[in-house]
Structure 1
Amino acid sequence: MSLLLEQLVTKLKRGDALVLPTETVYGLFADAMNETAVNHVYHLKKRPRDKALNLNVSSLEDILAYSKNQPAYLKKLYQAFLPGPLTLILLSNDAVPTWINSGLDTVGFRLPSHPITREIIQQVGQPLIGPSANLSGQVSGRVFEQIIKDFSNQVTGIADDAAILGVDSTILDLSRPQARILRQGSITKQQLLEKVPELVFEEDSLSGYHEMDSSI
């Protein structure tokens, strides 16, 4: 691991927030298990506290460690689309802190495919939060220098504007007997069904989306 990555991992472990690239937009990352660090991100983004956060993880094993009652096809879905622009919503277990899912019984999982961000998540060794790097209610961050200005130079990170596609991840809710697409991103329902025909969708699987804005 390079000296720069070591320094960034150290910052995260001590509770700092970092702007890191994903394959969708930039995220504002911090240690999900550190309540003070999570509160700092809420403060920086001016994000309402009732807006739950996703866990950014590095493996299927991580997803299993923080969820329960997973569908039988989860591994197949993981192998087909992750890491990549897909957010999975599952029932949370007791390992998920209340400051992450705002008292809900579900939690979102994200596995960014950007190699540097993936490496950082792996090296930290536990989940990170990573909501989009913008002030709450504004357009998701896509230009590194502008993001730093928007946060009044209170954060640092890694710039890779070329990696930013600007299309948010598809949010797939698997917490109920039938799946729901809560946000249509770059992965379509048809693509999901082609790879995982076992998926059964609710009739109108886009109707439930309203609480997960500012997600990557």
Structure 2
Amino acid sequence: MTSMRSDGVSDRERHTQIAAAARLLRAGGVVAFPTETVYGLGADAANPEAVRKIFEIKGRPSDHPLIVHIADASLLDRWAREIPQAARHLAESFWPSPLTLILRRQRHVPDAVTGGQDTVGLRVPDHPVALALLQELGPEKALAAPSANRFGRISPTTAAHVRAELDEAVDMVLDGGPCRVGLESTIISFVGGTPLLLRPGGISVAALEAVLGGRIEAPDTAQSAVRVSGSLPSHYAPVTPLEVLSAESLKRRSRELVKREQRVAVLGLTSPCQDSPHLLHFQMPAAAAAYAHKLYATLRQLDGVRFDFILAEAPPVDVDWQAVNDRLRRAAIVYCPAEIQPQEKMYEEIS
């Protein structure tokens, strides 16, 4: 008897889809696939021509590196060298998980993957379809994969998001259901000895520090020379202008825009704004993980409705909300975090 998964796909059909995806990848194709964070746009990491197709599809600058997805921690040495024991400890303790490690690359890793740098980002995705695809490809293979969307735009968290944005530009979209986490991986660099946080993400820094038994630092200007995915000042952005404001500033701003008959969507955490035909209030979850899971899908939904503005109430500024605040800051044209009082700083332009 053929068993059925919760997403309605049988085990036999899933295996057929994964085998077809693996054949396309071995032949130099590009396949969108699910991870626990967001959907990735994958190509054979050892095939420079296949990797270049990713950049063409996304419109991504060639010096912006990709993350290499591997099947398990035992393959670390195939892709990286001079690996500190602390990095091995994190890999063994957390992978598979939304954790990317930046390490010195092995010489065979193509420049197309690393953006010409001597470093490579590695992770093991925590999704059964992604892991099955990597196993099908075999231990000699890995997937170079950024998020499966146009460069700078909102990362996709469902296969439908990928199809809507990239359509026939990819050879195949492997559907694994909605992504569980909904924000990209945490990126930790071990280049230079001291572990550095280059991007907050789906796993907390506190959890990593508890295993390391020491602090993970934020890089200064000199230390942050390593380029990594999703680190540009403007990124993850909806087409609709997004402003992140304190609760009081948001109410004033929404009234101002409604008076001008602008169509406004509000992502709220507290009480709704005053009802108006020109304003729709979307109540967001009060828990950071639930908010993260919902954020990208909500922004995509609002882009589709064609509002004039999206106003988001600034979340709390604490460690639990670090990744959410990072994504909102990069996505917004105006960013006023919760600890800044309106009279001190109404808008902070994102350059």
TM-score of the pair, normalised by structure 1: 0.90
Q: What is the one-letter code of the residue matched to 1:138? A: R
**What does residue range 32-51 of structure 1 map to in structure 2 within 5 Å?**
32-51=45-64
Match 1:18 to one of 13, 16, 31: 31
- Check whether the contact 2:41–2:148 (CA below 8 A) recurs between aligned residues: yes
In structure 2, the CA distance between the partners of 1:7 and 1:206, relative to structure 1 (3 Å rule), is: farther
What are the ranges of 5 or more consecutive residues in structure 1 without an aligned counterpart? none
The CA deviation at 1:211 is 3.8
The CA deviation at 1:68 is 1.2
Distance 2:197 2:184 in 1: 13
**CA deviation digits over 1:52-101, x for unaligned, max 9?**
11211112232111211111133321122101100000011212112211
Please give the secondary structure, in 2, of the residue aligned with 1:55.
strand
**Identical amino acids, percent of aligned pairs:** 30
Query: 169-178 or 120-129, which moves further after superposition?
Result: 120-129
Query: Relative to total residues, which structure has the larger helix share, 1 or 2?
Result: 2
In structure 2, the CA distance between the partners of 1:171 and 1:206, relative to structure 1 (3 Å rule), is: farther
Distance 1:66 1:214 in 2: 21
What are the ranges of 5 or more consecutive residues in structure 2 without an aligned counterpart? 1-11, 232-351
**What does residue range 82-121 of structure 1 map to in structure 2 within 5 Å?**
82-121=95-134
The CA deviation at 1:190 is 1.4
Please give the secondary structure, in 2, of the residue aligned with 1:163.
coil
Q: Does residue 151 of structure 2 align to residue 142 of structure 1?
A: no
Partner of 2:166: 151
Q: What is the one-letter code of the residue matched to 2:182? A: G
Distance 1:63 1:41 in 2: 23
Distance 2:56 2:156 in 1: 17
- Check whether the contact 1:88–1:173 (CA below 8 A) recurs between aligned residues: yes
Higher Rg of the two aligned structures: 2
Distance 2:122 2:35 in 1: 14
Higher relative contact order (CA 8 A, sep 6+): 1
- Check whether the contact 1:132–1:214 (CA below 8 A) recurs between aligned residues: no
**CA deviation digits over 1:83-138, x for unaligned, max 9?**
11000000112121122112211110021110111111122121111100110010
In structure 2, the CA distance between the partners of 1:13 and 1:49, relative to structure 1 (3 Å rule), is: same
- Check whether the contact 1:54–1:108 (CA below 8 A) recurs between aligned residues: yes
In structure 2, the CA distance between the partners of 1:206 and 1:109, relative to structure 1 (3 Å rule), is: farther
CA RMSD of aligned residues (A): 2.0
Partner of 1:63: 76
Distance 1:36 1:64 in 2: 24
Q: Does residue 207 of structure 2 align to residue 191 of structure 1?
A: yes
